[in-house]
Amino acid sequence: MATTPVFVDVDTGLDDALALALLSRTPEVEIVGVGTVAGNVPVGFSTENTLRVLSWCGIEDIPVYRGASRPLVAPYQDAAHVHGGDGLGGAMLPPSSRNIADFAAPDALVRAAREYSGRLVLITLGPLTNIAIALSLYPELTEHIHGVSVMGGAYDVAGNITPVAEFNIYVDPDAANQVFAAPWREIVAVGLDVTHRTILPRRGWEEAAQATEPVAQLARKLLARTFGERDMTGFYLHDPLAAAIALDGSLVKTQKRRVAVVRDGEGRGRTTSTAGGDVAVATKVDAARFVRLFNERLALPHIDDTGAAARPE
Ligand code: BDR
Ligand code: CA
């Protein structure tokens, strides 16, 4: 089977970890590299978490490249309140025996884009700092990449870190502005408009208590704090949705818009959009199909639970 080469940029993070697990169970994909960035947690943690998650999923051969430790201009802010101080909800995954690769993440992305020119798919699940640096180093990057899927933004809905901003865009609004303005062949923006519709219900997690598959056990461990201590009813599948859409665009409906990001002040991180640009903004999602796919791939029981939307995180 012909596989799609994919480079993933992450700030692992609970839902980043689930997205990596999903990709590890997607045979149509060949992950050729993973870059890390400061986001949910500082980059040292997001890098260590990425190594641990990949090793847990049995992936020892995909290089992990450490990336930017802070946004381009804005002061750095983490999301430890959601992901826990370690970024993995205190899951205590065993350490990986692997080391990080030699190159920095932006450099590695440029190299991968050249090597898989015209075929590489880029999935970004954290602040866009590494991608902006890669574009600065090598503006031709856009010509080499087949398509980009960005988890970020709140287009026609409220934000999640401020009333108007989604977290990934808020953390590095300058980088986001540069990435949305670049002349990609194809770029899809997967924001809260759609990710807030894709919710993993707590009951699915509860009923997976006896799961034996490592990816299902990973989900159990990662979400123990969310569904236990924090008593949430559901968990937003932000990053897994952006990963899935990179491979199957039919999961969403999009509108072509021009996207700009407010860079500072009260509106910091707000994504403003007007009709007619080149960014495909996801406005509708087949949530039922996606959540079913996610559960199948992660060997989790599929539960239809409308109550999950009562208090999700
Ligand atoms: C995004 O922010 C992070 O906290 C999540 O990992 C996701 O990438 C959702 O706003
Ligand atoms: Ca993320």
- Look at residue 92 in the predicted model and tell me its pLDDT: 87
Task: Please tell me the distance between residue 176's alpha carbon and the centre of ligand 1 in angstroms.
Answer: 14
275 phi and psi angles, rounded to 5 deg: -60, 150
50 phi and psi angles, rounded to 5 deg: -65, -45
Task: Please tell me the distance between residue 302's alpha carbon and the centre of ligand 2 in angstroms.
Answer: 24
Question: How far is Cα 241 from Cα 221, in angstroms, rounded to an integer?
Answer: 20
Is the shortest distance between the CB of 239 and ligand 1 below 6 Å? yes
Any catalytic annotation for residue 238? Answer: yes
The residue from 83, 144, 196, 238 that is catalytic is 238
Domains in the chain: ranges and CATH: 4-297 (3.90.245.10)
What pTM does this model have? 0.97
If one counts every other C-beta atom within 10 angstroms of the C-beta of residue 96, the result is 18
What is Dmax (Cα atoms) for the chain? 50
User: Residue 182: pLDDT above 90?
Assistant: yes
Please state which of the ranges 75-89, 121-135, 235-249 shows the lowest mean pLDDT.
75-89
Task: Please tell me the distance between residue 256's alpha carbon and the centre of ligand 1 in angstroms.
Answer: 23
Beta strands 234-236; 199-201: pairing state: antiparallel
- Which ligand neighbours the alpha carbon of 193 most closely? 1
268: pLDDT confidence band, cut at 50, 70 and 90?
A: very high
Is the shortest distance between the CB of 46 and ligand 1 below 6 Å? no
Q: Please give the radius of gyration of the chain, using alpha carbons only, rounded to the nearest integer.
A: 18
- Look at residue 303 in the predicted model and tell me its pLDDT: 87
CB 23 within 8 A of CB 6: yes
- Look at residue 83 in the predicted model and tell me its pLDDT: 85
Question: How far is Cα 40 from Cα 38, in angstroms, rounded to an integer?
Answer: 7
Residue 15 CA: nearest ligand 1 atom is 6
282: pLDDT confidence band, cut at 50, 70 and 90?
A: very high
Cis peptide before 87 (omega within 30 of 0): no
